[in-house]
Amino acid sequence: MNPNWAEENLQTIRTLMERSAVYRRALAPIMLFNGVVGSAGGVCGWLMQIGSAWGFVLFWSGFAMVGLIGSFLLVRRQALKDAEPFWSPPTRRLTQAMLPLFVVGLVLGVGVLVAWPHPTVAAPPTDSIEIEELFWLPAVWVVLYGCAIHSAGFFTPRGLRLFGWLFVASGCGIFLWFCLRDSIELPWWTCHLLMGFFFGVLHLAYGAYLYLTKKGKNAA
Amino acid sequence: MNPEPFLQLDRVIHEKGRLAIMSMLAAAPELSFTELRNALTMTDGNLTTHIRALQQEGYISVAKSYQNNRPLTTCSLTPAGRKAFAEYINLLEKIIRQTRSK
């Protein structure tokens, strides 16, 4: 008998226990879907010339809702297809890990809506520059989202944690740069560009990576 | 090498297929039959046989319900199963320590 059989058995047990607790359902479609939604948001925000703080928060909150609902529908579709419970333990753990940070992001958006006076008259795009003072908001949203993804990464394949770190590091960098900048003037649409890049382009890239490196069948 | 820990290993759990089922269930509150089958790439018949053996030993409990008008079978470890699995792991660790100390 192989003298290492006990170690091999333990390793097998560890691998199976990790696999049992890991969430793999529809990650690539979710990333691609959110990538498309995020990219569309960036382009629409720029084309629609949404330059007010209110407009920015409401516009992106709407896109976040579309992303969330779409993601849940994708998960549900796969669960139905595989005759598995939708609210499986890994799904529950993943949601619980992400929820607090999503709530903080939402509260932050509501705080901006409360703090900024509601525009009574639609201002022409050239005057709608409130958003320039809101550069910190996309950065903080990116950091919070990165933290949420990182937390979720403990219940998914390891790559998601690295993806979360990318958001956290980039968001912190943008935030610090915003705090330290002196006289650099940026056009209002830079906020939409940032949102579109992080919540759109990066998700598309990660989704494509997941599709290309996908092994076997997804499981909850 | 002292053969005692090896002789104490639970024969029901020690079988490869059943060990895999116990390991999966140890890390999750419950798993459906489909989830187990897909994760372990077992046939329906093979999985059913192993589940039945573990159930007879009192290590796992099986619940049958309906979801979206489709039958749903879920398995979970019983307290006795969790205890037996923990003991099995302890014995494996003991064997590893013995092997290393040689």
Instruction: Return the residue matching tokens 């790439």.
Output: B41
User: What's the gap in Å between the CA of A87 and the closest CA on chain B?
Assistant: 11
Main-chain dihedrals φ then ψ at residue A189, nearest 5 degrees: -75, -5
If pLDDT is split at 50, 70 and 90, which confidence band does A60 have?
Answer: very high
The ranges assigned to domains in chain B are 8-96
Point out the least confidently predicted range of A40-44, A143-147, B3-7, B86-90.
B3-7
* Statement: residue A201 has pLDDT above 70: yes
What DSSP designation does A40 have? H
Taking an 8 Å Cβ-Cβ cutoff, which residues of chain A contact chain B? 3-4, 6-7, 9-10, 12-13, 16-21, 80, 82-85, 88-90, 217, 219-220
In a domain, A8, yes or no: no
Facing A6 at nearest CB: one of B30, B38, B95: B95
The domain of A97 spans: 24-213
What is the Cα gyration radius of chain B?
Answer: 15
| Vertex A21: Cα angle to A18 and A23 (nearest 5) | 110
Give me the interface pTM, i.e. the ipTM: 0.78
If pLDDT is split at 50, 70 and 90, which confidence band does A70 have?
Answer: very high
Q: Where are the beta strands (DSSP E) in A77-120?
A: none
What 3-state DSSP class applies to B31? strand
User: For chain A, how many structural domains are there in total?
Assistant: 1
pLDDT (average), residues B84-89: 92
Whether B9 contacts chain A with CB within 8 A: no
In a domain, A10, yes or no: no
User: What's the gap in Å between the CA of B98 and the closest CA on chain A?
Assistant: 11
Calpha distance A107→A164 (Å, rounded): 21
Q: What is the pLDDT of residues A105-162, one digit of tens each?
A: 999 999 988 887 665 444 444 444 555 677 788 999 999 999 999 999 888 877 889 9
In a domain, A89, yes or no: yes
Q: How far is CA A61 from CA A54, A57, A174, in A?
A: 11, 6, 21
Facing B67 at nearest CB: one of A7, A18, A85: A85
Question: Is the CB of B89 less than 8 angstroms away from the CB of A90?
Answer: no
Which CATH topology does B8-96 take? Arc Repressor Mutant, subunit A (1.10.10)
Contact indicator for A211, A16 with CB cutoff of 8 Å: no
pTM for this prediction: 0.67
Question: Is the CB of B23 less than 8 angstroms away from the CB of A20?
Answer: yes
